[in-house]
């Protein structure tokens, strides 16, 4: 099948300015539009990952490797080579695996708070997985299962989301863009979530357990790597960043203050600055 994507900042661009973007679990590409607008010197191809495909089935995946397969299939179909890859959270891991498999396809790799946990955490996770406890101990799965799917109006959705602590660092513009990205209008004037909670739960429950292979292969990564983390992230630990640079001294890890795992939405200007600074050195 032809994998859907959205192009941002279309127009004339100099050679080397093409970016491939992979989004996070639960956050379709339009959620990042404030960041994309700031990156106006680049043409951005933002892939719609499998949970956004029509008739896709969550049970079809048991780990995140198929998401990397999808990325490489998309790059082949669009004849994308020597591209700068940017991925947030889940998207960062999909891109990292792609660059480890086929490094010649990438000019650089920028991972924004990737879901990369230290080896001890992965080993513990695998024990819990064998015991079938992941669904009970994962902090985000219960909330995803309870998530409200339909809202009567756009205003009610905005009011509801503004109260959530997860969006405390979001500007009004960022929150509006996020709501635009996660909702689809219905015929009766109400709005539903475009990204199904079933897919969100499946992504949470099938991640991490194969990631020891990433640590084994990371020292051999041939692609320039930048990792941007939120200083208050509960996903990409500060200690994980130190381990990355220990295993791959050429990698650069930067922290952005007063930001969390959702830093591309919270601090788009700061993220843009780090991306441009990094790309200017290549």
What domains, with CATH codes, occur in the chain?
A: 5-131+207-280 (3.40.50.1820)
Give the pLDDT confidence score for residue 224 in this predicted structure.
Answer: 98
Distance, CA of 196 to CA of 62 (rounded, Å): 17
Residue 91 tokens read as 């998207």
Using the 8-state DSSP alphabet, how is residue 196 labeled? -
Provide Rg for the chain, Cα atoms. Answer: 18
Q: What is the pLDDT of residue 99?
A: 98
Residues 6+ apart with CB under 8 A from 142: none
Structure tokens at 21: 């973007």
Reference 49, options 106, 88, 76; nearest CA is 88
Name residues whose C-beta falls within 8 Å of residue 100's C-beta, 6 or more positions apart in sequence.
Answer: 214, 217, 218, 220, 221
Q: In a structure prediction context, what are the per-residue pLDDT tens digits for the chain, which is 282 residues long?
A: 799 999 999 764 555 588 999 999 999 999 999 999 999 999 999 999 999 998 899 999 999 999 999 999 999 999 999 999 999 999 999 999 999 999 999 999 999 999 999 999 999 999 999 999 998 889 899 889 988 889 988 888 899 899 999 999 999 999 999 999 999 999 998 999 999 999 999 999 999 999 999 999 999 999 999 999 999 999 999 999 999 999 999 999 999 999 999 999 999 999 999 999 999 998
pLDDT of residue 212: 98
Tokens of 125: 């996770």
Give the CB-side neighbour count of residue 248, counting CA atoms within 13 A. Answer: 22
Point out which residues pair with 19 in neighbouring strands: 44, 84
pLDDT of residue 15: 53
In this prediction, residue 13 carries a pLDDT of 55
pLDDT recorded at residue 155: 87
CB 229 within 8 A of CB 244: no
Identify the residue whose tokens are 């969100």.
200
Which pair of structure tokens corresponds to residue 70?
């999808």
Asked if 88 and 32 touch (Cβ cutoff 8 Å), the reply is yes
Structure tokens at 24: 């996070």
């Amino acid at each position: 099948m032809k994998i859907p994507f959205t192009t941002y900042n279309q127009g004339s661009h100099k050679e080397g300015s093409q970016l491939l973007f992979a989004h996070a679990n639960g956050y379709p590409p339009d959620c990042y539009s404030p960041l994309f607008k700031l990156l106006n010197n680049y043409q951005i191809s933002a892939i719609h990952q499998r949970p956004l495909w029509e008739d896709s089935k969550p049970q079809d995946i048991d780990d995140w490797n198929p998401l990397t397969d999808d990325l490489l299939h998309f790059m082949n179909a669009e004849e994308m080579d020597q591209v700068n890859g940017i991925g947030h959270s889940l998207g960062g891991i999909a891109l990292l695996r792609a660059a480890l498999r086929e490094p010649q396809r990438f000019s650089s790799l920028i991972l924004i708070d990737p879901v990369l946990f230290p080896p001890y955490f992965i080993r513990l996770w695998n024990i819990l997985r064998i015991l079938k406890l992941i669904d009970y101990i994962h902090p985000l799965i219960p909330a995803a299962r309870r998530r409200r799917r339909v809202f009567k109006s756009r205003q009610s959705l905005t009011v509801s989301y503004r109260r959530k602590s997860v969006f405390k660092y979001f500007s009004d513009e960022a929150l509006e863009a996020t709501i635009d990205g996660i909702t689809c209008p219905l015929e009766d004037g109400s709005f539903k979530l475009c990204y199904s909670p079933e897919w969100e739960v499946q992504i949470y429950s099938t991640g991490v357990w194969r990631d020891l292979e990433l640590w084994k292969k990371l020292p051999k990564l041939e692609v320039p790597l930048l990792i941007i983390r939120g200083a208050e992230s509960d996903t990409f630990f500060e200690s994980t960043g130190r381990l990355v640079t220990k295993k791959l001294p050429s990698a650069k890890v930067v922290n952005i203050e007063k930001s969390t795992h959702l830093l591309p939405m919270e601090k788009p200007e700061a993220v843009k600055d780090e991306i441009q600074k990094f790309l200017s050195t290549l």
